[in-house]
């Protein structure tokens, strides 16, 4: 009989998933920045690339806290989301809809990440690993702020004059 798995196992496995996801995203963001047509979009993707670097380092601290080596585990969800982003970059290249498409791809990434960090925070609290919570929370706050910023950018890119609504 297989050993019974616990939430503890889930808590130990999930940082590997998001570690992989963050590293893949780190590689994708400069590509998205290069593809973006608006200056604001480009700057936003580059800023989040730098934040993502910091998020990877926070996860390394989490691995240290739980006494495990920092190692990723293939996350098919993020691979699929990023592949869709690449598809949009190819199919909408040179079109007025490109930035809106890039934003939608980036928002899917942010929502995936937020879901993972939200869960990890809940489990860390449940398992008495409160020391990991501020690290996870700092990243969740950045992901949520990025998501809100993308929503604002989407509103601007939907506006043909490129003006931000007050
Ligand atoms: Fe992230
Ligand atoms: Fe993110």
Torsion of CA 49, 54, 57, 63, to 10 degrees: -100
The CA 161 to ligand 1 mean position distance, Å, reads: 31
Contacts for 153 with CB less than 8 Å, ≥ 6 apart:
38, 40, 41, 44, 99, 103
Q: What span, in angstroms and rounded, lies between the C-alpha atoms of 155 and 166?
A: 11
Q: What span, in angstroms and rounded, lies between the C-alpha atoms of 53 and 61?
A: 13
Among all bound ligands, the one having the nearest atom to the CA of 111 is: 2
Task: Output the tens digit of pLDDT for each of the chain's 166 residues.
Answer: 568 999 999 999 999 999 999 999 999 999 999 999 999 999 999 999 999 999 999 999 999 999 999 999 999 999 999 999 999 999 999 999 999 999 999 999 999 999 999 999 999 999 999 999 999 999 999 999 999 999 999 987 765 554 454 4
pTM of the complete model: 0.91
Among all bound ligands, the one having the nearest atom to the CA of 45 is: 2
Q: Are 110 and 96 in contact (CB under 8 A)?
A: no
Q: What span, in angstroms and rounded, lies between the C-alpha atoms of 60 and 69?
A: 8
Q: Where are the domains of the chain?
A: 7-155
DSSP 110-121: HHHHHHHHHHHH
DSSP 44-86: HHHHHHHHHHHHHHHHHHHHHHTT--------HHHHHHHHHHH
Among all bound ligands, the one having the nearest atom to the CA of 57 is: 1
The CA 147 to ligand 2 mean position distance, Å, reads: 8
Pick the CATH number of 7-155 from 3.40.50.300, 1.10.10.60, 1.20.1260.10, 3.40.50.720: 1.20.1260.10
């Amino acid at each position: 009989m297989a050993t019974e798995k616990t939430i503890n196992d889930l808590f130990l496995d999930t940082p590997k998933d998001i570690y992989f996801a963050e590293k893949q995203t780190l590689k994708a963001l400069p590509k998205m920045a290069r593809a973006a047509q608006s200056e604001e979009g480009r700057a936003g993707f580059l800023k989040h690339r730098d934040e993502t670097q910091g998020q990877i380092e926070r996860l390394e601290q989490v691995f240290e806290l739980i006494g495990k080596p920092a190692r990723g585990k293939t996350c098919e969800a993020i691979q699929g989301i990023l592949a869709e982003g690449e598809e949009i970059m190819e199919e909408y290249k040179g079109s007025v809809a490109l930035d809106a498409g890039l934003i939608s791809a980036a928002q899917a990434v942010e929502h995936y990440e937020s879901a993972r960090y939200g869960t990890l925070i809940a489990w860390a609290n449940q398992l008495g690993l409160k020391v990991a919570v501020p690290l996870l929370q700092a990243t969740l706050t950045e992901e949520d702020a990025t998501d809100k910023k993308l929503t604002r950018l989407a509103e601007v890119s939907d506006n043909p004059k490129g003006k931000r609504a007050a």
